[in-house]
Structure 1
Amino acid sequence: MDSCLLSDSSRVFERADPYAVSNYVNQHVGCHAIRLPTVGRPEASLNHRKFASLDLCRISYGGSVRVTSPALETIYHLQVLLRGHCLWRGRGEEHYFSPGELLLINPDDPVDLTYSDDCEKFIVKLPSTLLDKTCRDSQWLRPADGIRFAPRHNLQQLEGFTGLLQLVCSEAESAQTVAQVQEQYTRIIATKLLALLSSNVSRVLPGQGDASFERIVQFIEDNLKQDISVEQLAQLAHSSPRSLYALFERHTGTTPKGFIRQKKLEQIRASLSDPASRVRNVTEVALDYGFLHLGRFSESYKSAFGELPSDTLRRRES
């Protein structure tokens, strides 16, 4: 695989000063800082191609170099390990990436990587605007606080992705490359990432989303006396909790918990108003629907319907 990802025709540095390579990376691939080992003189190499809105980079530092950055801010880094290993530190955990594994760094993720002496990587820099636009064009639900991917992936589980990267590199090095073709490839890469990698994007289409929301509402109405969690609803909708909140905001203008509370209050009001119901007092029905703090329940009820629950019950009995 590695021989097909940027050949020597894309070579910018070979056996060069790591700091010179680092400065070039800062200009074209992403801001970072490097820390060299205290002994030895590592020699770095770098291949690079600009490809539409992407940057393609193949890099090795030739030593146990530590690479750090507060965050990438407006770009994503897709990093495929070709040789050696790389220690990643992030989100309170550590992992040694080995050949065939893929690291996806989000714009707000701090970067802390330590290369082995023989480590070589292939990196794709993607602007966040590309992924945002692809999400909109596909009519997928983009979270309000931005698209976030899980950091660790295995290339063997991403069908067709390795071949796509090889085609992109071949096109980037072609003497007859066409701008429109490059644009098409970048959209395919962005779509593949959003479709294949674990992320907080909901890939339910609008029509499907409506059907999904109807199922959720039906589940809530069928289980109003139960303690319904956001996690249950997200599983039912086949989405992340963040995507679920966005779905409720779009359909109801409130949160899942707010919607459930409103439905419970409506059902309690119907019970208190119905002469045929067996409700004996307000406390009984409130506890039955999970309202343990009766004072707060009364406040919520009055805010929703303009009267206390005791008033509703009294009117039924009069």
Structure 2
Amino acid sequence: MRDAALATTRPLRTPGVIHYGSVGANEACDLLNRFYHPLSLGETPGGDVKIEMEVIQLGPLTIGHLTFAGGVTLIAAAADAYHVTLPVTGRVLARHHGREVTAGPATALTFRPGEPVYLRPEAPSAEIDVRIERWALESELATLLGRPVEGPIDLPAAFNLTGGPAHSWSRLIRLLHEELEHGTSLIFQPQVAEHLRSSVLSGLLLSVPHRYHEELAAPGTAGPPRSIRRVLDAINDEPERPFTVAALAGIARMSVRSLQEGFRRHLGCTPMAYLQRTRLDRAHAALRGADPAAVTVASIANRWGFAHLGRFASAYRARFGVSPSETLRRRA
């Protein structure tokens, strides 16, 4: 199935962007699994399903423009990331905890990690689907607050896009989509892409209600001091590097003891615990997107700085509730 889907790929017009022409239900299901969540795709009886996709991936952020011709239903037992659907034309029916929500261009739909996904776009219709890796959104929130958070974040099932910060956030998403056609766009510059990615994540957190929103929006909310932020940036930029606590203290320009105390006060963990969590999150994302015929758990563990496979597997299961091999097999 994967080969058939890839055969529909048109030549890339821009770096980092993948375009798919009109594909049928089987190919579309494979593509949606590849870029979003493990799901099944149902067809309306008598309908001729055709889907077009245009996708850009900026690290843990995936933005895709999907066009549907023919009735289709998208179902996932559980989302494995934060997901936001912004209808562009037509309407989309979603189900949340037994309640049906119908959204048009004025309303966005959200799903949290662990929640079942049910989407039924009417045909013809188009939508922008945003996937944010769980670790990325929760790390962004923790950095903004200057302390650890307990996820998943309780984003609302739907939110209005017609005014306020949410309207501004939706314009940012649409801007990123519109820039895909321009190969010389600044969004393909790594430094700019990094700022845009952070803007999308922090913008969503500031635009919708959740249990941390009041604290986040309060005047004078202080994040970690600059010295701690330097260490966070170093870890998030290159978590695979063989950092030691002494090396991280050097980056912070403080003593090891002061660094340890600073992390406990502002992040609620030690620097090395934060490093391991970041590595586990990156390994999880890599396993989820990998082809099990082409890579192994060991190669991904090694890629993200884990030298001992057994300890990696134990820590991975403790964080995600499944083994690394189970995550990799879901791609088969």
Q: Same fold (TM over 0.5)?
A: yes
Within the candidate set 87, 90, 98, 1:92 is matched to 98
Q: CA deviation at 1:13?
A: 2.6
User: Helix, strand or coil: the match of 1:13?
Assistant: strand
CA distance in 2, matches of 1:207, 1:59: 38
Unpaired runs of at least 5, structure 2: 1-11, 222-264, 266-332
Percent identity, please. Answer: 17
Letter in 2 for 1:198: P
Q: After superposition, what is the alpha-carbon deviation per residue over 1:75-105, rounded to whole angstroms, capped at 9, x for unaligned? A: 1111100111111111221111112210111
What residue is the counterpart of 1:19 in the other structure? 26
Distance, in Å, in 1 between the alignment partners of 2:21 and 2:94 is 25
Distance 1:8 1:38, change over 3 A: farther
Equivalence map 1:3-82=2 (5 Å): 12-73=19-80, 75-82=81-88
Structure 1 SS opposite 2:82: strand
Mapped partners of 1:203, 1:174: distance in 2: 38
Q: Aligned pair in 2 of structure 1 residues 150, 52: CA closer, same or farther (>3 Å)? A: same
Match of 1:195 in 2: 206
Structure-2 residue corresponding to 1:183: 194
Q: SS of the counterpart of 1:156?
A: coil
| Greater C-alpha Rg | 1
Measure, in 2, the Cα distance between the counterparts of 1:91 and 1:185. Answer: 33
Mapped partners of 1:117, 1:167: distance in 2 = 24
Q: Which amino acid aligns with 2:183?
A: A
Q: Alpha-carbon deviations, 1:254-303, whole Å to 9, x = none?
A: xxxxxxxxxxxxxxxxxxxxxxxxxxxxxxxxxxxxxxxxxxxxxxxxxx
Deviation per residue, 1:23-57 (Å, 9 max, x gap): 01111222211011221322221111222321111
Task: Name the amino acid aligned to 1:204.
Answer: E
Residue 115 of structure 1 aligns with which residue? 121
SS at match of 1:31: coil
Distance across 2 between alignment mates of 1:192 and 1:31: 27
- CA–CA distance in structure 1, aligned partners of residues 191 and 205 of structure 2: 21
Show the counterpart of 1:268: none
Letter in 1 for 2:51: A
Contact 1:195 1:203 in 2 (8 A): no
Instruction: Within 5 Å, give how 1:1-318 maps onto structure 2.
Output: 12-73=19-80, 75-139=81-145, 143-157=149-163, 158-176=166-184, 177-204=188-215
Instruction: Tell me, in whole angstroms, the C-alpha distance in 2 between the residues paired with 1:182 and 1:98.
Output: 29
- After superposition, the Cα gap between the structure-2 partners of 1:41 and 1:92, relative to the gap in structure 1 and judged at 3 Å, is closer
Amino acid corresponding to residue 36 of structure 2 in structure 1 = V
The residue identity in structure 2 corresponding to 1:184 is H
Aligned residue pair count: 204
8 Å CA contact 1:51–1:172 kept in 2: the answer is no
Deviates more, 1:175-184 or 1:137-146: 137-146
Equivalent pair of 2:56/2:64 in contact (CA under 8 Å): yes
SS in 2 for 1:138: helix
Q: How far, CA to CA, are the matches of 2:215 and 2:127 in structure 1?
A: 34
- Map Cα deviations across residues 218-241 of structure 1 (whole Å, 9 max, x no partner): xxxxxxxxxxxxxxxxxxxxxxxx
Give the 3-state SS of the residue equivalent to 1:191 in structure 2. helix
CA distance, structure 2, for counterparts of residue 171 and residue 15 of structure 1: 21
Q: Distance in 1 between matches of 2:63 and 2:219?
A: 37
Which residue type is aligned with residue 173 of structure 2? L
- Normalization by structure 2: what TM-score? 0.55
TM-score scaled by length of structure 1:
0.58
